[in-house]
């Protein structure tokens, strides 16, 4: 497979490359020795990834390239790990291993590992370099790209964090062979998101290729990852720190998704990507309810989700009022007013502020069957 490279923030001092290739883990050492001045690295991963061959392949590659690798920091798998306790665990263990400003973290894992490792890198000694090596489709196309790092609190998702760009993102498509089907579908929601934001032609391509992508077609996977990363890189370049209504578009579906995750208690019944898939459908349906989007477009989106075997409602009961209350804590809101990313159609997303709560509650009652 031909190597694909996507440049992020190319005209800034925070520029880095996303490199996509089959078998890339075995070449990671040479890439990192060229991309960073650091010669000492600490891998942060989770218990699930630590049991797979990926880490040993990475360590061997780095040692062959003459790079020093400390004992890895291994965290429990799951969304519950993204908290203050485990952030402190990473920092304490990094200091115990003697990391200094000339060392670097490597986040080897999914979105949880990437988010918390990036935040640890941002605050340790006021900032040390880090590299993203995502091992899930969701992380490869979304969370590993763009520099958003952070942790959750009992009050909501990603409410504590920092904008802190990695020095490189290495995407080895071979790691997807070990990814469970459920995780692939969760990641696919983030791929679909880019099509619904502003790439209608990509939606048409996905309608043809989604099945192959989800069942292991490496060429389709690499193409979808590259298109998704390029789409995110373009938006990040225009609005790196979400100061305009551009980067907020990447939150399409997430206002509903984060609320559902919170109500599920981050207990594994609803993965982030699964929640995003539901949120994409709900955002489209609410847009149609508001007269913004043709109902036929909503039906097309739902049919696509159904064909991919994805959720359009949570696997547990939720009350409309509880969902609304959870959405009030969304960090996109301003001065107590709700912000949604809605659609005028496939590939025509926009930021809508000052949503009418009564209309939202009425819609939620429909979606929750009340």
Per annotation, catalytic residue among 4, 86, 148, 199:
148
Per annotation, catalytic residue among 167, 272, 289, 332:
272
Per annotation, catalytic residue among 21, 79, 183, 190:
190
Per annotation, catalytic residue among 240, 242, 261, 274:
242
Count of CB atoms situated within 10 Å of the CB of 23: 12
The span from the CA of 213 to the CA of 359, in Å, is: 37
Helix, strand, or coil here: 326?
helix
Active site annotation includes 207: no
Per annotation, catalytic residue among 93, 152, 251, 297:
251
Q: For the CA atoms of 244, 250, 254, 258, what is the dihedral angle to 10 degrees?
A: -80
Q: Is residue 347 within 8 Å of residue 195, measured between CB atoms?
A: yes
Per annotation, catalytic residue among 4, 157, 185, 258:
258
The sign of the CA dihedral 274, 177, 1, 167 is positive
Active site annotation includes 3: no
Provide the total of helices (H) and of strands (E) in the chain, helices listed first. Answer: 14, 12
Active site annotation includes 328: no
Per annotation, catalytic residue among 254, 289, 304, 332:
254
Active site annotation includes 251: yes
Q: Which residues contact 204 (CB under 8 A, 6 or more apart)?
A: none
Q: Is residue 31 within 8 Å of residue 168, measured between CB atoms?
A: yes
Active site annotation includes 48: no
Active site annotation includes 126: yes
Distances in Å between the Cα of 78 and the Cα atoms of 53, 167, 236, 251 are: 19, 25, 27, 21
Per annotation, catalytic residue among 85, 126, 177, 243:
126
Active site annotation includes 54: no
Active site annotation includes 334: no
Q: Is residue 164 within 8 Å of residue 150, measured between CB atoms?
A: no
Distances in Å between the Cα of 182 and the Cα atoms of 160, 186, 268 are: 28, 6, 12
Phi and psi, residue 74, nearest 5°: -110, 125
Q: Which residues contact 255 (CB under 8 A, 6 or more apart)?
A: 279, 283, 327, 330, 332, 338, 339, 340, 341
Per annotation, catalytic residue among 157, 232, 289, 304:
232
Helix-strand-coil percent breakdown of the chain, rounded to 5? 50, 20, 30
Catalytic residues: 126, 148, 190, 232, 242, 247, 251, 254, 258, 272
């Amino acid at each position: 497979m031909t190597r694909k490279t996507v440049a992020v923030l190319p005209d800034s001092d925070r520029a880095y490359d996303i490199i996509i290739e089959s078998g890339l883990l075995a070449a990671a050492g040479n890439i990192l020795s060229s991309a960073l001045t650091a010669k000492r690295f600490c891998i942060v991963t989770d218990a699930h990834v630590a049991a797979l061959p990926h880490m040993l392949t990475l360590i061997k590659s780095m040692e062959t390239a003459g790079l020093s690798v400390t004992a890895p920091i291994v965290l429990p798998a799951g969304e519950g790990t993204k908290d203050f306790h485990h952030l402190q665990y990473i920092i304490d263990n990094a200091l115990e291993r003697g990391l200094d400003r000339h060392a670097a973290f490597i986040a080897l894992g999914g979105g949880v590992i990437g988010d918390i490792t990036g935040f640890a890198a941002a605050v340790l000694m006021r900032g040390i370099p880090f590299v993203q090596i995502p091992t899930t489709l969701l992380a490869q196309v979304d969370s590993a790209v763009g520099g958003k790092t952070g942790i959750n609190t009992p009050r909501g998702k990603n409410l504590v964090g920092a904008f802190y760009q990695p020095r490189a993102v290495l995407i080895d498509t071979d790691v997807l062979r070990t990814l469970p089907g459920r995780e692939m579908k969760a990641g696919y929601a983030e791929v679909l998101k880019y099509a619904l934001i502003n790439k209608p032609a990509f939606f048409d391509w996905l309608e043809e290729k989604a099945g192959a992508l989800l069942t292991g077609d490496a060429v389709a996977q690499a193409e979808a990852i590259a298109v998704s990363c390029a789409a995110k890189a373009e938006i990040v370049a225009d609005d790196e720190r979400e100061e305009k209504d551009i980067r907020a578009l990447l939150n399409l579906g997430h206002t509903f998704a984060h609320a559902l995750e919170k109500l599920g208690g981050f207990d594994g019944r609803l993965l982030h990507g699964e929640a995003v898939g539901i949120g994409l459908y709900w955002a489209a349906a609410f847009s149609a309810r508001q007269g913004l989007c043709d109902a036929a477009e909503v039906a097309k989106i739902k049919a696509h989700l159904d064909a991919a075997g994805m959720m359009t409602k949570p696997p547990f009961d939720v009350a409309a009022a509880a969902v609304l209350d959870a959405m009030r804590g969304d960090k996109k809101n301003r001065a107590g007013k709700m912000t949604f990313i809605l659609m005028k159609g496939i590939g025509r997303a926009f930021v809508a502020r000052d949503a009418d709560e009564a209309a939202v509650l009425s819609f939620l009652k429909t979606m929750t069957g009340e």
